[in-house]
Chains A and B, each alone.
Chain A
């Protein structure tokens, strides 16, 4: 199971930060990958990036956000986080965390609005 947390309102130019807590699995699993995905009426479903462990940590990011995104694992809390900086109203979306390459489990979704 994946449980998301984080603010629903972020000001333009600031950093959007969300956390996804994992239960029933490990963020350090050698078989899993941990993703952030968002959904908006204008952009549809958009994969943002992932983190995964294969003897060391790897990160992959979508080209569209690569310059301003970071996805970090936290092994002590068995969770991972999304940080998206320099946000604009175009970053307003429902954000999901999800497990896997094909997404077998999803978080509940967090509506994040970028507005002053």
Chain B
């Protein structure tokens, strides 16, 4: 099973700044089968990116992803108050697994 480790655990930034979230896999994620989700309290996660860098339908271009193999990054530019949420990475190359999440606070 591929273990995903996200860092940092919590990120506190101001509106307009850029957030960089990391997801590291315990072994290579084949075919860049990695997705990112945003979850707000009381809601189901929402797909942001798939294939490491492709935006899902309706996701603004402030959200971008990169990486391959074992190291992946989600970048959110021009932070807005509504971006406050927990962000998860997920790999779907084999038996699906999730990271433990990064909490993003917009102060």
Contacts and interface: CB of A to CB of B under 8 A. Distances in A.
Interface in B26-67: 33, 35, 37, 44-47, 50-51, 56-57
Given A102-B47, A103-B35, A60 B98 contact: no
Which of A46, A62, A96, A101 is packed against the most chain B CB atoms within 10 Å? Answer: A101
A47 B89 CA distance: 13
B98 A47 contact: yes
Interface in A62-99: 62-63, 96, 98
B98 A109 contact: no
Nearest to A33: B92
B contacts with A: majority SS? loop
Contacts of B35: 102-103
Interface size class of A (residues with CB under 8 A): 10 to 19
A15 interface: no
Contacts of B88: 45
A103 B45 contact: yes
Contacts of A46: 98
B99 to A, nearest CB: 8
Nearest to B98: A45
A101 B44 contact: no
Contacts of A107: 44
B68 interface: no
Which of A45, A102, A106 is packed against the most chain B CB atoms within 10 Å? Answer: A102
B47 A104 contact: yes
6 contacts: A44-B100, A44-B101, A62-B95, A102-B51, A104-B56, A104-B57
Given A47-B98, A103-B45, A108-B44, 12 more contacts: A44-B98, A44-B100, A47-B95, A62-B96, A63-B95, A102-B47, A102-B56, A102-B92, A103-B35, A103-B37, A103-B90, A109-B44
